[in-house]
Amino acid sequence: MMLPMGDIHDPVRRQRYRFSHDGPDLLADVDTDPGGDVPDHEHPAQTEWWEVISGEVMFTIDGEQRRVGPGDHLRADPGVRHAFVNDGSSIASLRVRVSPAGTLEAFLTEAARLARAGAFDSRGIPSSPKAALELLRLVLRHRHDIMVTSPPAARALSAVLIRLP
């Protein structure tokens, strides 16, 4: 598949990202293939907004599921767990704003690189001890911006890591 210039491709999450900035905020245009998802996570100090441009997506925000389509807007405040899946049959396009940006672009770019290298599967299970170490380093570097909360073991690890200086 040929990707437009500047796209970051994550084959595990089945998504493509295009990043830009608006002052302190990160903006992302996200195309999610059928079956693509963002696993359960939270941002300790950031608010995330989504606008669905095309397709339909099932969001789970603070335990509540909501199917959304073109023109719908959603928000997750700091500390609120959220996830989504494109359980439809066509590509879903979303416009995302994260405020403040923090290091989220670097996290997503590195996670996509690790996904392309086969470091983990769709459940976040590392493919080798070396991959597990790389994933741990990624989580450590970005622990103040994102806490992975699924599977449950990742949530427990994130709770410990966020307390580190």
Q: How far is the C-alpha of 86 from the C-alpha of 88, rounded, in Å?
A: 5
Residue ranges of alpha helices (H) inside 24-151 are 104-116, 129-141
**Domain harbouring 93, CATH code:** 2.60.120.10
- The total number of structural domains in the chain stands at 1
Identify whether 3 is part of a domain.
Answer: no
Q: Which pTM was predicted?
A: 0.87
Q: How far is the C-alpha of 48 from the C-alpha of 23, rounded, in Å?
A: 15
Identify whether 2 is part of a domain.
Answer: no
Identify whether 47 is part of a domain.
Answer: yes
pLDDT for 155: 46
Q: Which domain holds residue 108?
A: 8-161
Identify whether 86 is part of a domain.
Answer: yes
Taking phi over 0 as left and psi of -120 to 50 as alpha, with beta for the rest, 124 belongs to: left
Q: What is the pLDDT of residues 106-122, one digit of tens each?
A: 999 999 999 999 998 88
Query: What's the pLDDT band for 161 if we cut at 50, 70, 90?
Result: low
Q: What is the mean pLDDT of residues 79-102?
A: 97
Identify whether 57 is part of a domain.
Answer: yes
Identify whether 1 is part of a domain.
Answer: no
Identify whether 25 is part of a domain.
Answer: yes
Q: What is the mean pLDDT of residues 13-21?
A: 96
